[in-house]
Chain A
């Protein structure tokens, strides 16, 4: 089989065995949920409820008039216990609504079928997706409705669905593809109509042959949708690399997929779109991979948004040994946590508890020996060693000249570096400094 891929990238261990074969399990109903009003790219929401209010599952509890935002909904029925600033996975305190569950899981009357793809117009579907608070479930949490409407003067011709799940450990998308292929295809049809495109490609890494098979079966006979097997290589699931692999189109530097006529969505997002249309259920739960060598029973859980990650770990049998790092997301791009008392948000794809042996301490770095491995693996074909060297010296103008802003922060350079240099970490610093200076100039 001739697999499509991109230049650069690296082969990281998959570490998916522990959870890939286990069906998704419904997590216990939490006693309370903490739902941040800002769990997406864009403007934070304002609360629509007060402390003491009784809320129902699927009821909208936060929204914003801003152009780019995503409303949030109650994931449990019960009483609003508090509204205030709580720790979120990014390390920031975010205005959040705390709901104490009454255990009833009574549905809001707003949760009702919205119609079929055939009957609804493109505008209707975009609107339903917005009202359902759907964001990119791959981890970026970019509001989906916003992506589906091209800016003036631009047009989509292709929808790309991301089923590559290239981050190690994570198998949530893999399981959704196996367990809900028809819903995914239904969601893809809705997304195609919303974006007004006639064709869609589902890109899946070839280390998931069963998922490729399942989606192929589900799309057989559906015109315009094709499954593409991709080489298993990190970061295959990065938007730019995915579009390049499937369509051969390079999103221009500083540009978006729409610049090459493409809109990209995750398989989990497609399934969430199906839920929003068929049942009218907004995004109040998601599948989270709980894994890592410190977790007793790694598995995929369907989790109510706002459940604390500590509860998920407890549900998976707790820790077998003391973890060195607890990560939300994958080991390549995830965020290390200092507390287990942070809620699962729409962008939480995984919770990993890794041991000392799995994570390398950061104090062992040696001088750069210019081996050039970072250059070989950079999927953006940058020179990470030079950007980070300038960044570490505080010479951010030179870092910019070396195209620091093109970095997608996939972490391949830091992963491969035999001298354990903090490459992407330094480049990240350069990016934020360059952006801060630009803002100052304006």
Chain B
């Protein structure tokens, strides 16, 4: 044998099972991309609702990250705040809060979101429900008045003259309670009352496009979700465009209903998830006690995720149908 080979034989090589290389895209990067994708909506929220919106976002994110760190320290687990997942939950929570809430509200919301909705179930990847939406739902149930105080970014839009008493209602509430329809342009660009990050459709779409371009989400869930809302509201003789643009549908469909952990992984499961979210949203908006139903629609469908995954397995390659 050639001498050179002998000397090489001492070298130590890593021996492990194939595949031997990995896609460069890692989970922390995806989480970071979600934050990047949420920046346009966050910036628009700050422009519309000023400094207080920024403070809510900061408190929410900081408390989310702190809660994760404290819990993991206390449980003697590795602290994983640098995977950005807690920051994403904190940011999402802030974006679905009214811009008027006192700053202890996002703090409590983040503690609930991370401490209860995420870590009680085992941390990253284990939570059956979307943590940010659980945070919001708990806040809404606990402090209903604080959680429904709205402001209009442009306090006196010309078309609102004479409705001063109603200036603290969202477009969906205005429609539901008083039959007033906010113009499309205002709804689209987002200078209306609403949660910090939910009002500006172009900002949300810009972020969603980024996530699609990066390959992190597909149009399946948002497409079926928004499509179902449009079709169903039309069937109930409502204005479908209004229902698509108003409230939290855009933010919910692209950023909450696409949450990896709490939604189905099979293609058909994702389609059914989107349709279910759409049906529940329209039902709550038209027949429920709340003017908006996106948050509860997604949470209810989250509960169905395991069942959807179980019963919507793809037809595997070469599967022979028994009936055939």
Stretch at the interface among B42-50, B95-103, B158-166, B260-268: B260-268
In the bound assembly, the distance between CA atoms of A411 and B17 in angstroms comes to: 10
Identify which of A255, A324, A367, A375 contacts B125 (C-beta below 8 A). Answer: A367
A274 at the interface (CB under 8 A from B): no
Q: Which of A224-282 contact B (CB under 8 A)?
A: 240, 244, 250-255
Contact A375 B265 (CB under 8 A): yes
User: Which of A58-66, A296-304, A310-318 forms contacts with chain B?
Assistant: A310-318
Number of residues from A at the complex interface, CB < 8 A? 76
User: Once bound together, how far apart are the Cα atoms of A310 and B11, in whole Å?
Assistant: 12
Is B36 positioned at the interface, with any CB of A under 8 Å from its CB? no
Point out the residue from B9, B20, B23, B124 that lies within 8 Å of A327, measured CB to CB. Answer: B20
Q: Which residue of A lies closest to B319 (CB)?
A: A253
Query: A381 CA to B73 CA in the complex, in Å?
Result: 40
B residues 255-305 near A (Cβ < 8 Å) are 260-261, 263-267, 270
Query: Given the known A-B contacts A359-B14, A380-B316, A406-B318, are A308 and B22 also in contact in the complex, defined by CB atoms under 8 Å?
Result: no
B contact residues around A31 at 8 Å (CB):
1-2
Do residues A424 and B317 form an inter-chain contact, with CB atoms below 8 A?
no
B130: shortest Cβ distance to chain A, in Å?
A: 12
Within 8 A of B (CB), among A369-388: 369-372, 375, 379-383, 385-386
Give complex CA distance A367, B83 in Å: 11
C-beta contact mask, B1-35 vs A, less than 8 Å → 1, else 0? Answer: 11011001101111111111111011111100000
**Residue on B nearest A386 in the bound complex, by CB:** B309
B18 near A339: Cβ-Cβ < 8 Å: no
> Known interface pairs A331-B19, A418-B25. Does A383 touch B313 (Cβ–Cβ under 8 Å)?
yes
Pairwise interchain contact B1-A370, C-beta atoms closer than 8 A: no
A347 to B14, CA, bound (A): 22
Assess whether A106 is interfacial by the CB under 8 Å rule.
no
Q: Which residues of B contact A116 (CB under 8 A)?
A: none
Indicate if the CB atoms of B17 and A370 lie closer than 8 Å. Answer: no
Task: Please indicate the chain B residues that have their CB under 8 angstroms from the CB of A359 in the complex.
Answer: 14, 20-21
- The answer on a CB contact under 8 Å between A253 and B320 is yes
For B263, the chain A residues whose CB sits under 8 A away are: 370
How far does the Cβ of B193 sit from chain A's closest Cβ, in whole Å?
34
Docked pose: A359 CA to B319 CA in angstroms: 35
B26, chain A: closest CB distance, angstroms: 5
Known contacts A31-B2, A362-B16, A368-B125; A253 and B318 CB within 8 A of each other: yes
Q: Tell me if B155 is interfacial: C-beta within 8 Å of chain A.
A: no
Contact A372 B265 (CB under 8 A): yes
Question: Measured between alpha carbons, how far is A403 from B26 in the docked complex, in Å?
Answer: 27
Q: Measured between alpha carbons, how far is A422 from B19 in the docked complex, in Å? A: 9
**Nearest Cβ distance between residue A395 and chain B, in whole angstroms?**
15
The answer to whether B15 and A375 have CB atoms under 8 Å apart is no
Do A324 and B14 touch across chains, with their CB atoms under 8 A apart? yes
Which residues on B sit within 8 Å (CB–CB) of A422? Answer: 17
Q: Considering only CB atoms, which chain B residue lies closest to A322 in the complex?
A: B11
Q: Which residue of A lies closest to B310 (CB)?
A: A386
B21 touches A415 (CB 8 A): yes
**A380 touches which one: B19, B265, B266, B317 (CB < 8 A)?**
B317
Is the CB of A82 closer than 8 A to any CB of chain B? no
The answer to whether A333 touches B19, judged by C-beta atoms less than 8 angstroms apart, is: yes
Q: Is the CB of A428 within 8 A of B27?
A: no
* Bound: A415/B315 CA distance, A: 23
Q: A308, B1: Cβ atoms under 8 Å? A: yes
Contacts of B26 in A (CB 8 A): 366, 418-420
**How far apart are the CA atoms of A308 and B13 in the complex, in Å?**
16
A325-B13, A414-B22 as given contacts; A318 in contact with B4, CB under 8 Å = yes
In the complex, whether B126 has a CB less than 8 A from a CB of chain A is yes
Question: Which positions 62-112 of chain A face chain B at CB distance < 8 Å?
Answer: 91
Task: Let me know if B316 and A354 touch, CB within 8 A.
Answer: no
Interface status of A149 (Cβ within 8 A of chain B) = no
Known: A31-B2, A308-B1. A358 touches B21 (CB 8 A): yes
Task: With A311-B5, A340-B8, A369-B260 given, name 4 new contacts (CB 8 A).
Answer: A325-B16, A334-B20, A339-B9, A422-B17
Chain B residues at the A interface, C-beta cutoff of 8 Å: 1-2, 4-5, 8-9, 11-23, 25-30, 80, 83, 85, 123-126, 216, 260-261, 263-267, 270, 309, 313-320
Give me 18 A-to-B residue pairs in the complex whose CB atoms sit less than 8 angstroms apart, sorted by A's number. Answer: A240-B317, A310-B5, A310-B8, A319-B8, A327-B20, A337-B15, A362-B16, A366-B27, A367-B126, A368-B125, A369-B27, A372-B260, A383-B314, A414-B19, A417-B23, A418-B27, A419-B125, A422-B17
